Amino acid sequence: MLKLGVLASDRGSNLEAIIQNIESGRLSAEIRVVISDHPDAQALERARQYGIEAIYLPPGSHKTNLDPKAEEGYVTCLQEHQVELVILAGFMRILMNHFLISFQGRIMNIHPALLPSFSGLEAQKQALKYGAKYTGCTVHFVTDEIDGGPIITQAVVPVLPGDTVESLSERILKEEHRIYAEAIRLYSEGRLKVEGRQVIINDK
């Protein structure tokens, strides 16, 4: 069974979706630990409700990434829990070299847009402002290029007349829940092969 570590800063709705997929048997994996940079992240509480170890690890003084010492603590914690695949589920900090090297090719992130469109923060708001007629979400491997790693899977949603950031985000979130679990499942079955920027999905 694939051992997962989940990093989350906030609600952890993707965490919840992954747990649901595990509980229902659709995903053969085990969440060994959930770590947050916020002591009161709802994700921690959610994890504990399911009996999953949930830890707050202070991020240090940096705002957009983890302090080197803190990052080392994150890596150590994940390693001590024998984590094989790191899942970023709304983790709002950029991972630096030590982390990326320690889990090279074994970190996934989800972004609420069809990358390379609308990378960075507030992707749904960006899509609305741009006047896009379609947007979506992207699960990708994490590299040192922000929102730029090889794409595992994407899903498309329409932008509808009268959409607000909230209504659009909700529509995208449903697809996020679906494709994140799907991407982890493909990984757990050893079906993902990365060649440069291409992620090839092998048949069962």
For binding to a second copy (CB under 8 A), which residues are involved? 114-118, 129-134, 136, 150-151, 153-154, 156, 161, 196-201
Q: Taking a C-beta distance cutoff of 8 angstroms, is the pair 110, 138 a contact?
A: yes
- DSSP-based three-state secondary structure for 200: strand
Nearer to a second copy by Cβ, of 74 and 187: the residue is 187
Q: At closest approach, how far in Å is the CB of 131 from a second copy?
A: 4
Residue 150: strand, helix, or coil: coil
Separation between Cα atoms, residue 120 and residue 111, nearest integer Å = 9
CA distance 104 to 139: 16
Give yes or no: 81 in active site: no
- For residue 166, the SS3 value is helix
Runs of H (alpha helix) within 50-96: 68-80
Can you read off the two tokens belonging to residue 54? 């949930």
Between 43 and 114, CB nearer to a second copy: 114
Phi, psi of 80 (to 5 degrees): -60, -30
Closest to a second copy by CB, 35 vs 199, is 199
Shortest separation between residue 195's beta carbon and a second copy, angstroms: 9
d(CA 125, CA 46): 27
Q: Which is nearer to a second copy, 69 or 133 (CB)?
A: 133
C-alpha Rg value of the chain to the nearest Å: 16
Least distance between a second copy and beta carbon 181 (Å) = 16
Taking residue 41's Cβ as centre, other Cβ atoms within 10 Å add up to 23
Q: Quick one: 66 or 186, whose CB is closer to a second copy?
A: 186
Q: Which of 38, 98, 111, 140 is catalytic?
A: 111
- How many Å apart are CA 3 and CA 86, to the nearest integer? 9
Instruction: Give least dist CB 77 to a second copy, A.
Output: 31
Q: Which positions are annotated as active-site residues?
A: 111
